[in-house]
A and B are shown apart, each in its own frame.
Chain A
Amino acid sequence: MDLIQFQNVGKDYDNQTALRDVTLSVGKGEMIFITGPSGSGKTTLLKLVYLAEKPDRGAIYVGDVETETLRESQIPLLRRTIGVVFQDFRLLDNRNVFENIAIALRIRGIAEKEVKTKVFDTLKMVNLRHKADAYPRTLSGGEQQRVVIARAIVADPTVLLADEPTGNLDPGTAEGVMRTFKEINARGTTVLIATHNRELYRNTGRRVFTLDSGSLVGEVLG
């Protein structure tokens, strides 16, 4: 069964086309990669899934719903089923690491006791238990990236969208993050990873979609 479906999707920004005629589908529980040069539309594709942008052409289905038909009040509910590793992090500077991760749970109205255990468990998964009280500005790029990953997975999402999740990581740490993603995927979460980094999908046997100037130009197995 397909969890995410793009049917002839096109997206324009002001005076430029970011995606053209993209058709693809991702099955429930699958892990796929999206690759392509800088500016080819990877981030745009992910944004369409979590409704940060709207398509100009075509239709997008997440679960059984066409995203365009969702009412404003239903969008938050859809977003709660999705965890996002933003390419630009979106960490809150005036909150420490613990709070940055906890906010994802608080938005969902989860009780404070559960918030504590879940946040610390997730911090352990990304090896940042010792940085719980640190503020984002005081962390290295790689540490910040792992905080973003922790925030994306802490609420056990149905779908994980990771935009360049290893861009700031050394090969060893990147491998650790990939191991985490595989674990999450093995527990049933559907994972979409946008990356330039061939190492991430080499020999994974997963589907890899290649974008170029907004068009889907290839689908191979990694």
Chain B
Amino acid sequence: MSLPYSVTLALQSLTREKWINLISVLTIASALLIISIAAFVVYNIDAATRSLPERFSMVLYLDDDIQKDRIDGVITALRRNSAVRSLRYIPKEEALRELKSVLKNSTYVFEGLDENPLPDTLELKLRKEAIGPEAVRRLSDEALKIKGVREVDYGEKFLAALHSLRAGTKTVGIALIVILSTGIIFVCYSTVKILFYRRKEEIETFKLLGATRAFIRAPFLIEGGAIGLAGGLISLFGIFAFYYAILLRLSVTMPVFKAVLFPSGPFLLLPGVGIFLGVAGAAIALGRLRY
């Protein structure tokens, strides 16, 4: 047997204090599982909504009977605006043609229409940085000030809602992760503290026989790490079970779930995260105990 004696002591304590350790492991596993599911939900909402703003466009309706040089003036003014990525001019004839092709089975709508009722329009695509409720409103106001622009149309409510959804889920997700990680550290801290008090006699004797601080501390750090590792492994198993046994099965009957992304890479870090939090909790406990 060539294991360092501190490992032996940690293993002894792990088996002697089965119940305390088991409860800690399960608590940590549940917390890590909730963290994983939260991260998973945030990740999916983020991924599903990330590309939406790129498709976002702003439509400018121009004055009736606008002159060609005025149109050029509007286009030049907009080109100069740094928020504009690209710009397409749609003359009212083309707009009508497009409309007719969309409604080709219902051309009767246009019967008896001898004048084109549509205005000339400009369709703007914005730079990614410029897509936010505030920036878009500012651009819209600026555009309205340009002579020849009659009306600006953009999905104001949609944009605001999307923005707050993304920001909201991220905030809630991060808050949850921070709170639960702190909770895990606290569980390890309390567990090590309890284990320490239960072994106080023994530790006192070790010290009188000449044990160093490192000799006394090492088993607790190992034990904290082991508890964290066990919690991490169980949560890893849990999140994969959640995905394969629940989501994949649901997606058979409910195709919506097919779009769900499962970032398995980061989840493989869970055991490592568990070890880190476990050792951190143990270290804090040992730092605060007098011995």
Q: Which residues of A contact B (CB under 8 A)?
A: 50, 52, 72-73, 76-77, 79-80, 82, 84, 86, 90, 92, 94, 103-104, 106-109, 112, 151
The one of B205, B210, B212 that contacts A92, using a Cβ cutoff of 8 Å: B205
A173 to chain B, nearest CB (A): 24
Question: Would B210 and A103 count as touching, CB distance under 8 A?
Answer: no
Question: Would A76 and B205 count as touching, CB distance under 8 A?
Answer: no
CB contact list, B122-162 vs A, under 8 A: none
B135 to chain A, nearest CB (A): 60
Question: Would B209 and A103 count as touching, CB distance under 8 A?
Answer: yes
* Contact indicator per residue, chain B 1-33, by CB within 8 Å of chain A (1) or not (0): 110010000000000100000000000000000
Question: Would A84 and B202 count as touching, CB distance under 8 A?
Answer: no
Return the 3 tightest CB-CB contacts between A and B, nearest first: A80-B210, A79-B210, A107-B211
Bound-state CA distance A94–B15 (Å) is 13
A residues near B16, Cβ cutoff 8 Å? 94
Question: Would A107 and B2 count as touching, CB distance under 8 A?
Answer: no
Question: Would B210 and A77 count as touching, CB distance under 8 A?
Answer: yes
B190 to chain A, nearest CB (A): 22
The one of A84, A103, A109 that contacts B206, using a Cβ cutoff of 8 Å: A103
B120 to chain A, nearest CB (A): 85
The one of A50, A90, A112 that contacts B205, using a Cβ cutoff of 8 Å: A90
Interface residues on B, range: 10 to 19
Q: Which residues of B contact A (CB under 8 A)?
A: 1-2, 5, 16, 201-202, 205-213, 215
Further contacts, 4 of them, CB under 8 A, given A52-B208, A107-B215, A109-B5: A73-B212, A92-B202, A104-B209, A107-B206
Bound-state CA distance A73–B214 (Å) is 10
Bound-state CA distance A104–B202 (Å) is 12
Bound-state CA distance A112–B209 (Å) is 18
Question: Would B212 and A76 count as touching, CB distance under 8 A?
Answer: yes
The one of A50, A94, A112 that contacts B208, using a Cβ cutoff of 8 Å: A50
Bound-state CA distance A181–B286 (Å) is 39
B15 to chain A, nearest CB (A): 11
A residues near B207, Cβ cutoff 8 Å? 76, 79
Question: Would A107 and B1 count as touching, CB distance under 8 A?
Answer: no
A residues near B209, Cβ cutoff 8 Å? 79, 84, 103-104, 107, 151
Bound-state CA distance A73–B215 (Å) is 12
19 A-B residue pairings within 8 Å (CB atoms): A50-B208, A52-B208, A73-B212, A73-B213, A76-B207, A76-B210, A76-B211, A76-B213, A80-B210, A84-B209, A86-B208, A94-B16, A103-B206, A106-B5, A107-B206, A107-B215, A108-B210, A109-B5, A151-B209
Bound-state CA distance A82–B205 (Å) is 14
A residues near B1, Cβ cutoff 8 Å? 112
Bound-state CA distance A197–B100 (Å) is 119
A91 to chain B, nearest CB (A): 8
Question: Would A79 and B213 count as touching, CB distance under 8 A?
Answer: no
Question: Would A107 and B210 count as touching, CB distance under 8 A?
Answer: yes
B residues near A92, Cβ cutoff 8 Å? 201-202, 205
A37 to chain B, nearest CB (A): 25
Across the two chains, which residue of chain B brings its CB closest to A151? B209
Across the two chains, which residue of chain A brings its CB closest to B204? A90
Across the two chains, which residue of chain B brings its CB closest to A90? B205
A141 to chain B, nearest CB (A): 19
B residues near A86, Cβ cutoff 8 Å? 208
Across the two chains, which residue of chain A brings its CB closest to B206? A107
A169 to chain B, nearest CB (A): 22
Question: Would B2 and A112 count as touching, CB distance under 8 A?
Answer: yes
A residues near B5, Cβ cutoff 8 Å? 106, 109
B residues near A90, Cβ cutoff 8 Å? 205, 208
A residues near B212, Cβ cutoff 8 Å? 73, 76
B residues near A106, Cβ cutoff 8 Å? 5
A residues near B208, Cβ cutoff 8 Å? 50, 52, 79, 84, 86, 90
Across the two chains, which residue of chain B brings its CB closest to A51? B208
Across the two chains, which residue of chain B brings its CB closest to A52? B208
B residues near A151, Cβ cutoff 8 Å? 209
Interface centre among B2, B5, B16, B201 (most CB of A within 10 A): B5
